[in-house]
């Protein structure tokens, strides 16, 4: 495997061009002429797919790859899934996550009209705009289950904006579909108690092998580096030792995706779950800190949530899939 594939993925995730916002109109605050055309999920160009003939699938919802941009004399706040230049960073994340996490599993990821990064500078703006990407991914997941899944177990995974959408899919999921879900990996978001009360299918992961559960975590240097816009997450787990207590896990990894791994010394990281905040406290990180444009702050490792734990996540997806498959086989005896 060419480890340099990791570099363009992470760079694309956060190399976002920033433009000025424009006014939107109508009762939803959105003007139709400001919306790109909706994806047609019967069109194969609206999917990134790797079919490995695996026993299970990963259905992955990408994070925010889009900034406000101008196209054909118009300004947009949503990704245009049929425009090559807008699609490229979306594709780069899909390729990168597939390379990092899938292992022997099949990988399906839909292009969707995700909100721009600027959307998340205001809770009110995000509330108005998020129904567009949610509708797209809802349609994509329905198409996937009907036409692509072919009865296999599946893992739901989403990062940042994708994790927010994932939680809504889980809330709307029927029992027969949920029965085929190995686990849901909601990376880089918050799950409140209210969400859990409204969605019984959000079951906190308590270890490395439970299935039908939801995995959630957020990494910071310390509590002062958390995203103050969000509430304390009601659930969290350490993705290194798969514990829900404060016992620290130590491991070594290359600190940054922005350099070839062969050119880096590994960091010896200590990762512990803080019970007060339900945040992962990470010490030993030596790379120059990356701060997200507009919404990030120094010491918040949101941009590294997949990279740092890539080996642990890949191994855990495979492990949970094996456990799930054994349960299904035993239930049929």
pLDDT tens-digit series, residues 269-293? 999 999 999 999 999 998 876 666 6
Task: Give domain limits for the chain.
Answer: 3-331
Is the separation of the CB atoms in 6 and 99 below 8 Å? yes
pTM, 2 dp: 0.90
- In the block, which residue shows the tokens 């922005």? 258
Strands (E), 180-301: 181-187, 213-217, 219-220, 249-253, 267-274, 279-283
User: Between 161-172 and 131-143, two packed helices, what is the crossing angle to 10 degrees?
Assistant: 60
Question: What is the number of other CB atoms lying within 10 angstroms of the CB of residue 35?
Answer: 16
Structure tokens at 235: 């659930």
Structure tokens at 118: 């600027």
Is the separation of the CB atoms in 186 and 167 below 8 Å? yes
Least Cα distance to 97 among 302, 320, 307 occurs for 307
Instruction: Give the mean model confidence (pLDDT) for residues 88-101.
Output: 97
Q: What is the Cα–Cα distance from 79 to 65, expressed in whole angstroms?
A: 8
Q: What is the pLDDT of residues 185-242, one digit of tens each?
A: 999 999 999 999 999 999 999 999 999 999 999 999 999 888 766 678 999 999 999 9
Helix (H) / strand (E) containing 57: strand 57-61
Average pLDDT, the chain: 89
Q: What is the Cα–Cα distance from 321 to 258, expressed in whole angstroms?
A: 31
Structure tokens at 173: 């999921």
Q: What is the pLDDT of residues 41-64, one digit of tens each?
A: 999 999 999 999 999 999 999 999
């Amino acid at each position: 495997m060419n480890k340099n594939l990791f570099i363009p993925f992470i760079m694309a995730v956060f190399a976002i061009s920033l433009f000025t916002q424009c006014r939107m109109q109508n009762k939803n605050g959105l003007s139709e002429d400001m919306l790109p055309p909706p994806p047609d999920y019967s069109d194969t160009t609206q999917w990134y797919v790797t079919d490995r003939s695996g026993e299970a699938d990963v259905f992955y919802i990408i994070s925010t790859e889009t900034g406000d941009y101008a196209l054909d004399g118009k300004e947009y706040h949503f990704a245009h899934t049929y425009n090559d230049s807008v699609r490229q960073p979306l594709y780069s994340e899909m390729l990168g996550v597939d390379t990092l996490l899938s292992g022997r599993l099949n990988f399906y990821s839909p292009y969707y009209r995700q909100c721009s990064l600027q959307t998340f500078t205001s809770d009110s703006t995000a509330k108005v705009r998020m129904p567009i990407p949610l509708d797209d991914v809802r349609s994509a997941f329905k198409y996937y289950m009907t036409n692509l899944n072919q009865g296999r177990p599946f893992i739901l995974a989403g990062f940042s904006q994708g994790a927010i959408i994932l939680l809504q899919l889980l809330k709307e999921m029927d029992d027969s579909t949920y029965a085929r879900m190995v686990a849901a990996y909601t990376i880089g978001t918050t799950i409140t108690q209210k969400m859990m009360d409204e969605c019984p299918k959000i079951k906190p992961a308590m270890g490395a092998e439970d299935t039908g559960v939801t995995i959630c975590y957020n990494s910071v240097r310390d509590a002062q580096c958390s995203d103050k816009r969000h509430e304390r997450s009601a659930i969290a787990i350490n993705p290194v030792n798969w514990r829900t207590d404060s016992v620290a896990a130590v491991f070594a990894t290359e600190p940054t995706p922005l350099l070839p791994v062969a050119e880096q010394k590994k960091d010896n990281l200590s990762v512990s779950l803080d019970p007060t905040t339900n945040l992962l406290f990470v010490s030993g990180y030596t790379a120059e800190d990356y701060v997200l444009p507009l919404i990030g702050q120094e010491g918040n490792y949101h941009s590294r949530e997949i990279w740092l734990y890539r080996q642990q996540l890949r191994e855990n997806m495979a492990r949970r899939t094996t456990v799930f498959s054994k349960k299904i086989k035993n239930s049929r005896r």
